[in-house]
Amino acid sequence: MLQNERNLSMVTLKHQTEYVCRCLFERVGDASFVGHLDLMHTFDRAIRRAGLPILYSQGYNPRPMMVFALPLGVGIDTLGDYVDISMSREVDVNELMEKVNPFLPKGVKLYGGINIDEPKNSLMSVVTIAKYRFTAPEIKSKMRNLVTRDELRVTKKSKGKLVETDIRPLFICEVPDNETSEDVFECFVYAGSSKNLRPDVFLNALCEYEGYDREIAANCLVTRLGLYGGEYPELKDIKGLL
């Protein structure tokens, strides 16, 4: 077959019907140091070992059809992230979790979800807000001082270039709590495709503006507690956003 005929065959392949399981998962402990691509491979292997019919993309380099709501940075725990897993036939989400979890490594677990039709919108496109917990010595008062500032200009890498930007508009609010611990700070930040505040950038600003110890900041336990759609305070559950 000639090259142009091969190219034509790739773009004229029949559309594959997707049967999607939208699942909640957690990644904690040592598993949080697994990179995003390795996490994808981990789920792919577990699903295949469970004997479930995961759907693969068509073309020269087939890939498992899984979409994560928001990639996780290395070293960040999560207790409430989402992944859309496409199947070639209908598979009940509870069956998927029951069969796949035994093949996942310690610290990674599917624990909730729904079956949906082929989503009209990408899972990544509906995420707008994330909830984070920062745990480190005496971090609460420092964080509270930080977010009272009108401007927080930092230098970060964007599209391969170093740019200076004000991250203060990306912070939404502190999460009210009844705890007295000075070592825990929870907050909502923007986390969508157009506006996104990464925890490491937030911690760097804390060190730069409030003099927080960089070694302590580097060992701060960061946990993503949840992902949401909509605008604060009208948060929407990602599970039902199609």
pLDDT tens digit string along 139-153?
999 999 999 999 999
Tokens of 51: 């004997």
pLDDT tens digit string along 178-225?
667 899 999 999 998 778 999 999 999 999 999 999 999 999 999 999
Q: Mean pLDDT across the chain, nearest whole number?
A: 89
- The whole-model pTM stands at 0.88
pLDDT tens digit string along 84-111?
999 999 999 999 999 999 999 999 999 9
CA distances from 115 to 79, 94, 111, 239 (A): 20, 9, 14, 10
User: In sequence order, which residues have a C-beta less than 8 Å from that of residue 69 and are 6 or more positions away?
Assistant: 81, 82, 83, 123, 124, 126, 127, 227, 238
- Specify burial of residue 229 (Cβ count, 10 A radius: 0-12, 13-18, 19+): buried
94 near 103, Cβ under 8 Å? no
What is the H or E stretch that residue 108 is in? strand 108-116
At 15, is the pLDDT very low, low, confident or very high (cuts 50, 70, 90)? low
